[in-house]
Amino acid sequence: MVRIKSSQKFFTDEEVSGLTGVCLEHLHALARTKHLGFIVIPRAAKAAGKQVEKWLFTYSDLVVLTVLGSRWQYQGKNTVGGCSAVLKI
């Protein structure tokens, strides 16, 4: 079970990753394929000409990711090239 503050409207990708247990790489891939969350480009980064994407998720997105995240089964620890996770259906 995931517990959050009722006043919190948006969650960063780091927060969602910590709450669901899904690594950032797989979280971003899952969000892209399921059309969850949205990408925000900070003004400071945009003004500096940097390509910085910040993912934000709503409470509804978090609920969906929590259900889908429970199906991820990690094979051992994270490796240098990324984690070795398998979606268990």
In a domain? residue 22: yes
Q: Count H helices, E strands: the chain?
A: 4, 5
Question: What pLDDT shows up at residue 78?
Answer: 45
Domain that holds residue 56: 10-87
Buried-exposed string 43-67: b where 16+ CB fall within 10 A, e elsewhere? eeeeeeeeeeeebbbeeebbebbbe
Of 2 and 37, more confident: 37
* Residue 47 is assigned to a structural domain of this protein: yes
How does pLDDT run across 7-64, given as a tens digit for each residue? 888 999 898 888 877 788 888 888 888 889 988 876 766 667 776 778 999 999 988 8
Instruction: Note whether residue 5 is domain-resident.
Output: no
List Cα–Cα distances, 43 to 40, 49, 50, in angstroms: 9, 10, 10
Note whether residue 36 is domain-resident.
yes
- The total number of structural domains that make up the chain: 1
The answer to whether 60 touches 48, Cβ cutoff 8 Å, is no
pTM for the structure as a whole: 0.68
**How much is the pLDDT for 65?**
82
Residue 1 lies in a domain: no
